[in-house]
């Protein structure tokens, strides 16, 4: 039997019980809502941090990339640039640039690249020190190109301008690497002027080496040409030109053993790869002309390239085989490879990108909200 006292303790008014239950439900739901709100906020933060929509993404810096950025920014394309591992490109390793218009007294490469970057930033370019590590280009006109930066950040771009350049091939001898910029160069047309009237050497056997040897012969006292095999790879016409110049001496079956000098090039130790005999000559400049490798591996199987990896563009434009993707600078130019010609193609790429966006109608503004919410 339950006493009246116990009944009075255990008894709960149904109305009060319903209110208590309702309060518990409300508190539980509020906690859940707060939890979901926090999670949604986190997801928004993740999305806005890792996925970004841009009108124009520029991959690579240097004269081509910075010039493209200047023109794109002035056209209100809001360019974002990823500089790559060598901001400023090959010119940052050049001590003196004497053939770029506008520098009456010349300028060193790093200073020139810094000034180009500052000019691009003045018009609104966002320059980021980083690497593009993966690309997934759209094949559709008006499609969005998906880019990965630094292995994790996701970018969606309406247009992409490639200015990744090309890397000169060197012999990778310690003394050669130590004296790069101190008399060792990979561009006779760029640096040959500084050795006017002096004795120099050039390494290479192809058309580029023959052409650069001929150029040097016109301004230098003597040019010693080192050919690794017993014959040149250059065309017969180029070989004839080299052989017709009396101040070019060709050394066949000859390689570089060591570049001599502490701070600057003072000489060269050569070795005959057939006899092993070594010989020292006095020179002030050594030019490496064994080729360039375009920095385009990341675009393989998506963009058309030639057999050596240079990007192929259509006609006199910078258009690649995919809509909205443009190539400029040494990544697509294996003929001239000069700072001023690279800058020219950078300008062209920005203009091509601007015209492309005009034909499709930029969708940046209409989708930006979904990332910012």
CATH number at residue 277: 3.50.50.60
Across the chain, the runs of DSSP E, i.e. the strands, are: 51-59, 80-82, 126-128, 132-136, 145-149, 153-162, 166-168, 184-185, 199-203, 222-227, 248-252, 254-260, 267-272, 278-281, 285-288, 292-294, 325-327
What's the pLDDT tens digit per position in 210-267?
A: 999 999 999 999 999 999 999 999 999 999 999 999 999 999 999 999 999 999 999 9
Domain stops at, among 240, 268, 288: 288
Q: Are 95 and 195 in contact (CB under 8 A)?
A: no
Structure token pair of residue 367: 């989708």
- pLDDT value at position 208? 87
Tell me, yes or no, whether 97 and 77 share the same domain: yes
Its domain, for residue 157, covers 50-168+292-372
Tell me, yes or no, whether 241 and 304 share the same domain: no
Q: Are 65 and 161 in contact (CB under 8 A)?
A: yes
Mean pLDDT in consecutive groups of 10 residues from the start of the chain, 373 residues: 47 55 67 63 54 95 96 97 85 78 90 95 96 96 95 95 94 95 90 95 94 95 97 93 96 97 96 97 96 94 96 97 97 91 97 96 50 41
Tell me, yes or no, whether 342 and 362 share the same domain: yes
Tell me, yes or no, whether 131 and 199 share the same domain: no
Residue 28, in any domain of the structure: no
Domain stops at, among 256, 288, 320: 288
- pLDDT value at position 86? 79
Which residues are designated catalytic?
187, 190-191
Tell me, yes or no, whether 88 and 192 share the same domain: no
Residue 21, in any domain of the structure: no
Tell me, yes or no, whether 306 and 234 share the same domain: no
- For residue 110, give the H/E element and its range: helix 109-122
Q: Are 318 and 332 in contact (CB under 8 A)?
A: yes
Residue 10, in any domain of the structure: no
Domain stops at, among 241, 261, 288: 288
CA 335 – CA 354 distance, rounded (Å): 26
- pLDDT value at position 43? 54
Q: φ, ψ for residue 207 (rounded to 5)?
A: -60, -40
Structure token pair of residue 316: 């006199």
- pLDDT value at position 15? 56
CA 79 – CA 114 distance, rounded (Å): 18
- pLDDT value at position 47? 54
CA 52 to chain CA centroid, nearest Å: 20
- pLDDT value at position 178? 95
CA 49 – CA 55 distance, rounded (Å): 17
Tell me, yes or no, whether 232 and 312 share the same domain: no
Bridging pattern class, strands 80-82 and 145-149: unpaired
Across 29-79, the runs of DSSP E, i.e. the strands, are: 51-59
- pLDDT value at position 60? 95
Q: φ, ψ for residue 357 (rounded to 5)?
A: -60, -35
Closest CA relative to residue 188, chosen from 113, 106, 288: 288
Tell me, yes or no, whether 178 and 164 share the same domain: no
Residue 8, in any domain of the structure: no
Q: Are 302 and 137 in contact (CB under 8 A)?
A: yes
Tell me, yes or no, whether 160 and 190 share the same domain: no
pTM over the 0.75 mark: no
Number of structural domains in the chain = 2
Q: Are 141 and 323 in contact (CB under 8 A)?
A: yes
- pLDDT value at position 263? 94
Residue 34, in any domain of the structure: no
Instruction: Using alpha carbons, list the distances in angstroms from residue 175 to 37, 60, 168, 279.
Output: 62, 29, 17, 16
Tell me, yes or no, whether 186 and 264 share the same domain: yes
Tell me, yes or no, whether 193 and 269 share the same domain: yes
Bridging pattern class, strands 51-59 and 80-82: parallel
- pLDDT value at position 359? 94
Residue 265, in any domain of the structure: yes
Residue 155, in any domain of the structure: yes
Residue 144, in any domain of the structure: yes
Tell me, yes or no, whether 164 and 312 share the same domain: yes
């Amino acid at each position: 039997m339950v006493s009246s006292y116990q009944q009075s303790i255990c008894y709960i008014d149904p109305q009060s019980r319903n209110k208590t239950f309702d309060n518990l439900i409300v508190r539980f739901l509020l906690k859940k809502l707060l939890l979901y709100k926090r999670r949604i906020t986190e997801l928004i933060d993740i999305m806005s941090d890792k996925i970004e929509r841009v009108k124009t993404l520029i991959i690579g810096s240097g004269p081509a990339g910075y010039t493209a950025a200047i023109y794109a920014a002035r056209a209100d394309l809001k360019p974002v640039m990823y500089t790559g591992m060598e901001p400023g490109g090959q010119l940052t390793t050049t001590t003196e640039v004497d053939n770029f218009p506008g520098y009456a007294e010349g300028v060193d490469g790093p200073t020139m690249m810094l000034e180009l970057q500052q000019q691009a930033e003045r018009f609104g370019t966002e320059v980021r020190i980083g690497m593009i590590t993966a690309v997934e280009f759209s094949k559709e006109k008006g499609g969005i190109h998906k880019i990965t930066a630094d292995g994790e950040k996701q970018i969606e771009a309406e247009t992409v301008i490639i200015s990744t350049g090309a890397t000169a091939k060197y012999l990778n001898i310690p003394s050669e690497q130590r004296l790069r910029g101190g008399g060792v160069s990979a561009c006779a047309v760029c640096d040959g002027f500084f050795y006017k009237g002096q004795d120099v050497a050039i390494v290479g056997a192809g058309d580029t080496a023959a052409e650069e040897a001929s150029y040097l012969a016109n301004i230098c006292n003597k040019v010693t040409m080192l050919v690794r095999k017993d014959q040149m790879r250059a065309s017969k016409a180029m070989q004839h030109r080299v052989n017709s110049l009396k101040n070019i001496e060709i050394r066949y079956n000859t390689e570089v053993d060591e570049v001599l000098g502490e701070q600057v090039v003072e000489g060269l130790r050569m070795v005959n790869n057939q006899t092993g005999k070594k010989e020292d000559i006095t020179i002030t400049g050594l030019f490496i002309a064994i080729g360039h490798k375009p920095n385009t591996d990341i675009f393989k199987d998506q963009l058309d390239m030639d057999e050596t990896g240079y990007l192929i563009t259509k006609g006199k434009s910078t258009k690649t085989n995919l809509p909205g993707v443009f190539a400029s600078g040494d990544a697509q130019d294996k003929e001239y490879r000069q700072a001023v010609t690279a800058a020219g193609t950078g300008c062209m790429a920005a203009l091509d990108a601007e015209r492309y966006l005009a034909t499709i109608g930029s969708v940046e503004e209409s989708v930006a909200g979904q990332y910012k919410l």
